[in-house]
Amino acid sequence: MSASAILKLQKVGFTAEQVEALADFMDTQAASKADLNEAKSELKADLNEAKSELRAELGEVKSELKADLSAVRSDIAAVKSDIATVKSDLRLVETGLRGEIKQVEQRMTIKLGGMMVIAIGVILAALRYVPAPHP
């Protein structure tokens, strides 16, 4: 406690013992500017340490995310490649099926034509043996 503060307390009616007790209390219990500055410095150091730790952890997380993203991109590329292969295979199957369908069409046309020729032949033969009506 400063001398001017002691004088002011004595002027307002504090006794010397009261002023001494208050001075002792202030010296032991109250924080001085030096104490506050020290606490402030400690807090700044702790804050800087926490910032450094967070930056390091953030860097690690970024690295992990980049690695994961790279793996995902390679997986996507593999899936795209697989899809292209499947498309190619499907086109080949489609081409083969179209060819087989054309062959079946041709065979059916030939068979149907043959059956029609036979049916017409049978009808004509039957007409030949059917007696004509007499007028």
Q: Are residues 44 and 82 in the same domain?
A: yes
> Does the model's pTM come out above 0.85?
no
Q: Are residues 4 and 22 in the same domain?
A: yes
Q: Are residues 20 and 77 in the same domain?
A: no
Q: Are residues 50 and 11 in the same domain?
A: no
Q: Are residues 10 and 25 in the same domain?
A: yes
Domain span including residue 60: 32-129
Q: Are residues 58 and 45 in the same domain?
A: yes
Total domain count for the chain? 2
User: Does residue 39 contact residue 52 with C-beta atoms inside 8 Å?
Assistant: no
Q: Is residue 105 part of a domain?
A: yes
Q: Are residues 97 and 123 in the same domain?
A: yes
User: Does residue 8 contact residue 34 with C-beta atoms inside 8 Å?
Assistant: no
CA distance 16 to 6: 9
Q: Looking at residue 1, what is its pLDDT?
A: 55
Q: What is the pLDDT along the chain (135 residues), one digit of tens a residue?
A: 566 777 777 788 888 888 778 777 777 776 778 888 899 999 999 999 999 999 999 999 999 999 999 999 999 999 999 999 999 999 999 999 999 999 999 999 999 999 999 999 999 998 888 887 776
Q: Are residues 71 and 25 in the same domain?
A: no
Place of tokens 């800087």: 48
Q: Is residue 97 part of a domain?
A: yes
